[in-house]
Amino acid sequence: MGSNQTWITEVILLGFQVDPKLELFLFGFFLLFYSLTLMGNGMVLGLICWDSTLHTPMYFFLSNLAIVDMSYASSIVPKMLANLTMQKKTISFAPCLLQTFLYLALAVTECTSLVVMSYDRYVAICHPLHYAVIMSWRVCTILAATCWIFSFLLALVHITLILRLPFCGPQTIDHFFCQIMSVFKLACADTRLNQTVLFVGSVFVLVGPLCLVLVSYTCILFAILRIQSSESQRKAFSTCSSHLCVVGLFFGSAIVMYMAPKSRHSQEQRKILSLFYSLFNPMLNPLIYSLRNAEVKGALRRFLRKKTSV
């Protein structure tokens, strides 16, 4: 690298590039959604911890997903909200890379957690007599810990490859956070290796897990159709449809974002997609599980009755 090149110390996040008056509206709008994300996932997590009837593997993984969702949104939204209120929309380079790392790690954690949740439902419905043995608390803890460790190690690989690049400009990111593909554009060197590793990683953590989920639910569907009791069928369908809604929202938006040809989507469309799976998905997840889950609604009613009777 030539001696006349300088290293970036600060990055300008262009964000949504709208009228300043509209920025205040967006600030209130996104703050509301972020608050609902924290409250909704916090409520689910609190209910699962409080109600002993929800101390089962299924709700253990659901509480893990709630933690991932709150962390996921929190890795991006606070800085985005701060920039909407400021004229100088900047972030230091080191925090920018930290944001990229956390976002990647938590996105992969959510992806792998959804696969583990589908496996839990597969065992519960297809092998109910062996469920307690197969999904012991030790196994559940190992599965959850593996999701987190694997995800953070994979994100570390991407960040390590980014750190080998020289960053000397441009100094602007046409996004509302340090999204990895936007960070590549800051480098004044060939990033084809980084892009190839990102694409291969996307296939590995999106297409592979999605196939596993679909295989699990194909087996589950056949098992449900063999159930004699219509009430048991309805309960099984209700639980599984909630999970499939969450899976469809997350994997669908992520695959379009990371694996569709770049020419298919403008940068503004990519920003909306990023916003969808980084803010709207985490907000919708607790709503989907709560509204379609009789046990969660029952726990909420018991909690409210106890509080009103005190």
Segment 57-101, tens digit of pLDDT: 989 999 999 999 999 899 999 988 988 888 888 888 889 999 999
Sign of the four-CA dihedral 175, 179, 181, 184: positive
Residue type at 145 in one-letter notation: A
Q: Flag whether 34 is in a domain.
A: yes
Percent of the chain with pLDDT over 90: 29
For residue 210, the surrounding DSSP H or E stretch is helix 208-225
pLDDT band at residue 302, thresholds of 50, 70 and 90? confident
Q: Tell me the C-alpha to C-alpha distance, in Å, between residue 217 and each of 47, 130, 150, 208.
A: 27, 18, 24, 15
Range of the domain at 226: 10-304
Q: State the Cα–Cα distance between residues 132 and 28, nearest whole angstrom.
A: 46
Starting at the edge strand found earlier in the chain, the sheet holding 10-13 runs: 90-92, 10-13, 172-173
| Amino acid at site 176 | F
Cβ neighbours of residue 114 under 8 Å, at least 6 residues apart? 65, 209, 213, 243, 246, 247, 250, 251
- Residue 190 belongs to domain with CATH number: 1.20.1070.10
Helix axes 294-309, 20-50, angle to 10 degrees: 90
Domain membership of residue 60 (yes or no) is: yes
Is 5 among the domain residues? no
For residue 175, name the pLDDT band (cuts at 50, 70, 90).
Answer: confident
Per the CB < 8 A criterion, the answer to whether 250 and 111 are in contact is yes
What 3-state DSSP class applies to 187?
strand
Phi/psi region, residue 202 (left: phi>0; alpha: psi -120 to 50; beta: rest), is alpha
Look at residue 125 in the predicted model and tell me its pLDDT. Answer: 87
Distances, alpha carbon 254 to alpha carbons 7, 104, 148, 281, in Å: 31, 12, 19, 11
* Residue-wise pLDDT tens digits, 109-125: 999 998 999 899 899 88
The average confidence (pLDDT) of the chain is 84
Q: Say how many domains are in the chain.
A: 1
Q: What is the pLDDT of residue 265?
A: 53
pLDDT band at residue 2 using 50, 70 and 90 as cut-offs: very low
The sign of the CA dihedral 114, 115, 121, 124 is negative
Tens digits of residue pLDDT in 26-40: 899 899 999 999 999
* More reliable by pLDDT, 310 or 194: 194
Asked, for residue 309, whether it belongs to a domain, the answer is no
* pLDDT band with cut points at 50, 70 and 90 for residue 246: confident
pLDDT at 287 over 60: yes
In a domain, 1, yes or no: no
In a domain, 273, yes or no: yes
Q: Phi, psi at residue 300, to the nearest 5°? A: -65, -40
For range 173-195, the mean pLDDT: 88
The per-residue pLDDT for range 191-230, each reduced to its tens digit, is 999 999 988 888 888 888 888 888 988 888 888 888 777 7
Across 49-58, 134-143, 277-286, least confident range: 277-286
Q: Of 166 and 277, which is predicted with more confidence?
A: 166
Displacement of CA 138 from its chain's centroid (Å):
25
Q: What count of other Cβ atoms lies within 10 Å of the Cβ of residue 281?
A: 22
> Does a structural domain hold residue 48?
yes
Q: Mean pLDDT lowest for which of 178-182, 206-210, 287-291? A: 287-291
DSSP string computed for 55-107: -SHHHHHHHHHHHHHHHHHHTTHHHHHHHHT-SS-EEEHHHHHHHHHHHHHHH
Per the domain annotation, does 310 fall within a domain?
no
Q: What tokens does 257 get? A: 């974002």
